[in-house]
């Protein structure tokens, strides 16, 4: 298993609390000739090159998680969801708090809602629990990542896998005539808040959002011509097509019922020419998502070709 990808998947990155994964990214890029900064909303922005044309790539780095809402007298920790959490997928799983504290996610109901669930820390009183955690603290769901044949299987691959692709592309870029911004955005699971703020600050001429779609693995990255919140700008579409032709990269096209950061981004600063490229994924929004290593390599090459 690729060490960088394993670090990214396992890093703490619950929406609004992405400090763990940001440290992994900064460490990986510390010897690269680029400018790295963090904005007020927690986005990590990497700038390479200078030019009249501003190009922004964005991939959200956060994942869904849990937030403590109440600690009962017997020490049971009640919580709410941060992002879209499916209760049935987290029963009997391990919750990990940012300080490393572990807990068991439990319930007494067969088909529970989030409010029917609680975290057990092995403590018997509210006072004991409060010495470790308190209301407002957040936890991630225990995650793993492994190879399955030519595929990669793991939690939160949507969308940390595209952060991996951005890092790989950044490390390979030798020169560019554009002013390129690579945004590892915060709070993508919360309606793309980070990407929107970054776009407002950067004011790019073009924005390309990296996402995932349930497509056949091994078929290569896909141009999302239309999704729930965005009709792709034809200029961005042509830009991607020309780059893929020049690099002899085969791409596909899809229409999506989902949305990405592209929705809020394209409406910023009077309008930004925006498009979405999706990496094929299987079992999306489960704790064991699957992507193709071949598709991932192609995504890296496509990003480099566009730059």
CATH number of domain containing 242: 3.40.630.10
Residue 286, pLDDT score: 92
Residues 115 and 184 in one domain: no
Q: Is 60 annotated for ligand binding? A: yes
Residue where a domain terminates, one of 94, 117, 141: 141
Residues 115 and 171 in one domain: no
- Segment 98-105 shows an average pLDDT of 97
Residues 171 and 267 in one domain: yes
Residue where a domain terminates, one of 82, 108, 141: 141
Query: What does the DSSP assignment read for 92-125?
Result: TPEEEETTS-EEEEEESSSS--GGGEEEE-S--S
- Segment 100-116 shows an average pLDDT of 95
Residues 45 and 178 in one domain: yes
10 Å Cβ neighbour count for 174?
Answer: 7
Residues 206 and 170 in one domain: yes
Residue 293, SS3 per DSSP: helix
Residues 9 and 103 in one domain: no
**Structural contact between residues 166 and 303, judged by C-beta atoms closer than 8 angstroms:** yes
Residues 134 and 219 in one domain: no
Does the structure show a pLDDT above 90 at 35? yes
118 is in which domain, residue-wise?
65-141
pTM of the model: 0.96
pLDDT tens digit sequence for 40-53: 999 999 999 998 89
CATH number of domain containing 129: 2.40.30.40
Q: How many domains does the chain have?
A: 2
Residue 205, pLDDT score: 97
| 175 pLDDT tier (thresholds 50, 70, 90) | confident
- Which residues, 6+ apart, have CB-to-CB distance to 68 below 8 Å? 77, 78, 79, 119, 133, 134, 135, 136, 137, 138, 139
- Segment 56-74 shows an average pLDDT of 98
Residue 110, pLDDT score: 87
Residues 78 and 109 in one domain: yes
Does the structure show a pLDDT above 90 at 174? no
- Which residues, 6+ apart, have CB-to-CB distance to 245 below 8 Å? none
Helices 157-172 and 19-28, interaxial angle, to 10°? 20
Residues 46 and 71 in one domain: no
Pairing of β 117-120 and β 77-82: antiparallel
Residues 29 and 174 in one domain: yes
pLDDT tens digit sequence for 127-139: 999 999 999 999 9
Residue 51, pLDDT score: 86
- Segment 98-117 shows an average pLDDT of 95
Does the structure show a pLDDT above 90 at 27? yes
Token digits for 11?
């890093």
Residues 163 and 45 in one domain: yes
Residues 168 and 23 in one domain: yes
Q: Which of 193, 157, 163 is nearest to 82 (CA)?
A: 193
Instruction: Tell me the H-state helices in the chain.
Output: 3-10, 19-28, 87-90, 126-130, 157-172, 193-202, 234-246, 262-265, 293-306
- Segment 203-219 shows an average pLDDT of 97
Residue where a domain terminates, one of 141, 168, 196: 141
> Cα(138)–Cα(95) distance, rounded to whole angstroms?
9
């Amino acid at each position: 298993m690729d060490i960088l990808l394993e670090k990214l998947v396992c890093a703490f990155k619950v929406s609004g609390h992405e400090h763990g994964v940001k440290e992994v990214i900064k460490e990986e890029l510390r010897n690269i000739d680029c400018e790295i900064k963090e904005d007020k909303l927690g986005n990590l922005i990497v700038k390479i090159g200078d030019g009249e044309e501003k190009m922004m790539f964005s991939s959200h780095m956060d994942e869904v998680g849990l937030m403590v809402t109440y600690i009962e007298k017997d020490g049971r920790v009640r919580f709410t969801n941060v992002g879209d959490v499916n209760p049935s997928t987290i029963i009997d799983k391990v919750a990990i708090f940012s300080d490393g504290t572990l807990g068991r996610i439990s319930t007494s109901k067969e088909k529970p809602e989030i409010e029917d669930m609680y975290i057990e820390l092995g403590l018997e009183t509210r006072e004991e629990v409060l010495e470790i955690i308190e209301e407002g603290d957040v936890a991630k769901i225990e995650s793993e990542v492994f190879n399955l044949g030519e595929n990669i299987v793991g939690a939160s691959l949507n969308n940390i896998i595209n952060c991996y692709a951005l890092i790989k592309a950044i490390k390979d870029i030798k020169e560019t005539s554009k002013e390129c911004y690579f945004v590892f955005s915060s709070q993508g699971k919360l309606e793309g808040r980070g990407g929107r703020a970054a776009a407002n600050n950067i004011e790019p001429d073009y924005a390309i959002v990296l996402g995932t779609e349930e497509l056949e693995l091994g078929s290569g990255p896909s141009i999302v011509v239309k999704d729930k919140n965005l009709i792709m700008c034809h200029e961005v579409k042509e830009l991607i097509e020309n780059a893929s032709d020049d690099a002899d990269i085969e791409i596909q096209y899809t229409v999506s019922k989902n949305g990405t950061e592209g929705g809020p981004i394209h409406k910023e600063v009077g309008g930004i020419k925006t498009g979405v490229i999706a990496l094929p994924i299987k079992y999306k929004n489960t704790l064991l998502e699957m992507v193709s290593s071949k598709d991932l390599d192609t995504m890296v090459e496509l990003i480099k070709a566009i730059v």
